[in-house]
Amino acid sequence: MDSALDWHNAKALLEWQYDLGADCALAEAPVDRFAAEEIARAKAAERAAAPMPGKRTQPVPLEKGPDPVEVAVKLAKETQDLASLREAMAQYSHCDLKKGARNLVFSDGVAGSKVMIIGEAPGRDEDRVGKPFVGRAGQLLDKMLAAIDLSRESNVYITNVLPWRPPQNRDPLPEEIAMMQPFLKRHIALADPDILIVMGNISCDALLGRRGITRLRGGWTEAEGRPAIPMFHPAYLLRQPHLKREAWADLLSLRAKLEAVS
């Protein structure tokens, strides 16, 4: 007998099992019922897959789930307004980021504004609160906007490429961007801004199909049929404060464009 399992310990173990309901001995050795179930299931599957004697067999096609991008396109197309778009995104179950997120981060600001900002993905604070750009980067964004008389309280609308926080704030995967892109495009169509601000590399990737924000920033382009300006992401500016000079130039360019479209 194991030295740790003396008479007292063995008795205590038996009593514990008895308390759990194991009050009679069925066999000498324990039976793992979970393993037995697994084996029975595997045998049944084997029998079902086995060819019937004398019958020609066709290869059984592997069952393939629906394409997440196609599902997103269909759901997004069916939405008529921002509320139904939000609902459709909340129902969408193909993006695994949803499982780890506390909240769907849909938007903030005034829908219908001339300016719409496209950020990347919620961070910890946004995930907790359920609104985009509420952390440190968001505070800097608010200051940048205020410098050209813009604010989310009156004349800016804000969303992100992804509505759910990636774990540990990792970069979104290409397939995550691809499956959420139909919702983003519909979001832009429904909010109908005059100008898009595309903040950071992930957003440039999702809307312009290009990365390289250092080269792209400040250069007016078009996205979803509207003028769009790629800009440094405020989180990047917090890490690289010397780039605020370029960010300021881009804000002035944005103000000039806004005056031109007004």
Residues that bind ligand URA (CB under 6 A): 119-123, 126, 132-133, 137, 160, 235
3-class SS of residue 34: helix
Element (H, E) at 156: strand 156-160
**For the CA atoms of the chain, what is the radius of gyration?**
28
Nearer to ligand URA, 9 or 240 (CB): 240
Nearer to ligand URA, 120 or 250 (CB): 120
Closest separation in Å from C-beta 126 to ligand URA: 4
Closest separation in Å from C-beta 72 to ligand URA: 20
Nearer to ligand URA, 138 or 218 (CB): 138
Closest separation in Å from C-beta 119 to ligand URA: 3
Nearer to ligand URA, 160 or 181 (CB): 160
Closest separation in Å from C-beta 59 to ligand URA: 46
Element (H, E) at 189: helix 174-191
Identify whether the C-beta of residue 67 lies closer than 8 Å to the C-beta of residue 88: no
Structure tokens belonging to residue 63: 């069952």
Closest separation in Å from C-beta 71 to ligand URA: 24
Nearer to ligand URA, 73 or 243 (CB): 243
Nearer to ligand URA, 122 or 218 (CB): 122
CB within 8 Å of 76: residues ≥ 6 apart: 85, 88, 182, 183, 185, 186
Closest separation in Å from C-beta 132 to ligand URA: 3
- Rounded Cα distance, 154 and 11, in Å: 74
CA distances from 10 to 14, 17, 45 (A): 6, 11, 41
Q: Which residue's CB comes closest to ligand URA?
A: 119
DSSP 243: G
Nearer to ligand URA, 122 or 230 (CB): 122
Closest separation in Å from C-beta 159 to ligand URA: 9
Q: Give me the phi and psi of 222, to 5 degrees please.
A: -130, 140
Burial classification of residue 92, based on how many CB atoms lie within 10 Å of its CB (0-12 exposed, 13-18 middle, 19 or more buried):
buried
Identify whether the C-beta of residue 133 lies closer than 8 Å to the C-beta of residue 176: no
